[in-house]
Structure 1
Amino acid sequence: MLRENKVIELENITWKREEREILNHISWSVAKGEHWAVLGLNGSGKTSLLKIITGYQWPTKGKVSVLGQLFGKTNIPELRKSIGWVGSSLEEKFHTRPSDSVLEVVLSGKNASIGLYDEISQEDVKKAEELLTQFRIDHLADQTYFSLSQGEKRKMMIARALMPSPKLLILDEPCNGLDLYSKEELLSTIEKMSYLPEGPTLLYVTHHIEELVPSITHALLIANGRTVAAGPKKDVLTEDVLSQTFHLPISLNWEDDRPWIRVKSRN
């Protein structure tokens, strides 16, 4: 039975590729008002999980419901219009359009197109300009995509993802490749966005624990395609759970409601 307050419901999800089990009996529930981190090493199954949630990959077993829609009984392409996804693979698609301006890239998010092909209204332009202001890159509106720094590109792509007012926003390792200053700038922007009253539910995917800003309320930890722990972040982000997830002895400290870790000496 679908529950209206649930953004994501996965029931006993298993996915195999060439007889190899990539995801193993994962059950997970995300409610409205929650913002989740998805944590795990590279190859742990994070990307496969995202592809299942967005309908680009079908589980071998189990049930999937996203935004109240049960997969197998809903129009997946239509559902994707309510889901924003920001990741390096999307950025790469704009490499073929070097002359597109920042404003044009953000506007293209309305119809999830790479480039502008549909009619754009003045209301659309106004919303795009407001998003650029929100992300403090309005002064870059007329500059081309390739003229931006990596941090500016990430802000632009998140603004683009917000154009159609998605109900679910997936940030797939958004700080990857950023220097310390750019990373903290982007995290500050994400933190402010998380508190918007009409903002989307966030899934923040990373293997860097220190990126979990205070507005991230919950965490799902995956190792070898299995759930290690899932729940409120202060309950599940413990030294034991993190050590199990990252296969190393971990020491954990909380500072300003953000978790910071180091590897314990093995001597």
Structure 2
Amino acid sequence: MPAGTAPVLRTTGVDLVRDGRAVLREVSLTVRPGEHWALLGANGAGKSTLLRLLGALTHPTRGTVEVLGHELGRVDLRALRAYVGHVDPRHPLSSALTVRDVVLTGLTNSIEPVPRWSPTPEESARAEQFLALLGVGDCREARWPVLSQGQRTRVLIARALMPLPRLLLLDEPATGLDVAGREQLIDRLDGLGRAHPAMASVLVTHHLEELPPGTTHALLLREGRCLAAGPVERVLNGELVGRCFGHPLALSRTDGRWNVRTRRSGAL
């Protein structure tokens, strides 16, 4: 796979039509190593659909998608996905695997352990490292059904990191978390970015309050179109975010974290 400063993701003029309806229209995006993007928009804006394109899980109707230097439609997707960590809190695991075993399935890109497969000592040590980094090392022998939603999300991030991906995709990782769980997740995501400075990430959310302080860029989607994209200092302001969500908003930022409230008439 190409390395250096070449983009890890590039979409150019992407349209996606589903059941005769345009879900994405003329979306262009470039993500480089070490950048951490927020993908924001109202319900139905096309965020999760765009994330599936970025993760090589679906193809565009028109336009091009390049993931790690390879254009979709001209590459073996199974090989490509090994370099992309995709975290979905709705992980379809039904059996009572241990946390350690769930994390190790990231190496085989499977939901259940692969028969007659076993990790190397190096891979086992890597699993322990990522569990510790995500703050769930103490529950390595706990069974999946007894974990809280916050613990599950952090375990799934550790799982996604096992192949040492160059790109991490997170689809609403704070879904279902209480305040404490959300804050623990945000702290761990921020630490992850510092520990792996070359890795890029794209995080989908409805809520600016869920963005880690290390977020560098943002893309605002409205009705399948890119309203704005670029560094957070330029994109995340009340005018643009208010247009994105169709509501007058005022934004503020303290210690790298965003706060959002309704902009009152006459407010500065």
AA at the equivalent of 1:109: G
Output one character per residue of 1:166-186: Cα deviation in whole Å (capped at 9) or x when no partner. Answer: 111101100011000110001
Where do residues 51-200 of structure 1 align in structure 2 (5 Å cutoff)?
51-90=52-91, 93-94=92-93, 96-98=94-96, 100-117=97-114, 118-197=117-196, 200=199
1:38 lines up with 2:36 in the alignment: no
Output one character per residue of 1:65-121: Cα deviation in whole Å (capped at 9) or x when no partner. Answer: 01011122211111001111111232xx11x212x1111111111111112112222
CA distance in 2, matches of 1:143, 1:97: 13
CA distance in 2, matches of 1:70, 1:12: 14
CA distance in 1, matches of 2:107, 2:122: 11
AA at the equivalent of 1:80: R
Q: Which moved more, 1:244-253 or 1:55-64?
A: 55-64
AA at the equivalent of 1:49: L
CA distance in 2, matches of 1:265, 1:72: 49
AA at the equivalent of 2:210: E
Output one character per residue of 1:117-142: Cα deviation in whole Å (capped at 9) or x when no partner. Answer: 12222222111111111122111111
The alpha carbon displacement at 1:55 in A equals 2.5
CA distance in 2, matches of 1:104, 1:135: 16
CA distance in 2, matches of 1:32, 1:88: 24
Q: Which moved more, 1:218-227 or 1:115-124?
A: 115-124
CA distance in 1, matches of 2:5, 2:154: 31
CA distance in 1, matches of 2:5, 2:185: 32
CA distance in 1, matches of 2:102, 2:220: 33
Where do residues 231-246 of structure 1 align in structure 2 (5 Å cutoff)?
231-246=230-245
Output one character per residue of 1:175-223: Cα deviation in whole Å (capped at 9) or x when no partner. Answer: 0110001100010000000112455211111010111222110000100
**Aligned residues between the structures:** 262
CA distance in 2, matches of 1:154, 1:54: 18
CA distance in 1, matches of 2:13, 2:77: 20
The alpha carbon displacement at 1:4 in A equals 5.7
Conservation of the 8 A alpha-carbon contact between 2:193 and 2:214 = yes
Which 5+ residue runs of structure 2 have no aligned equivalent?
A: none
What is aligned with 1:12? Answer: 13
Secondary structure of residue in 1 paired with 2:260: strand
| TM-score normalised by length of structure 2 | 0.93
Which 5+ residue runs of structure 1 have no aligned equivalent?
A: none
Secondary structure of residue in 1 paired with 2:90: helix
Output one character per residue of 1:21-62: Cα deviation in whole Å (capped at 9) or x when no partner. Answer: 111111111111211000011110011111222222221110
Conservation of the 8 A alpha-carbon contact between 1:170 and 1:203 = yes
| TM-score normalised by length of structure 1 | 0.94
Secondary structure of residue in 1 paired with 2:111: coil
CA distance in 2, matches of 1:111, 1:266: 55
The alpha carbon displacement at 1:18 in A equals 2.1
Conservation of the 8 A alpha-carbon contact between 2:13 and 2:26 = yes
AA at the equivalent of 2:161: L
The alpha carbon displacement at 1:7 in A equals 0.8
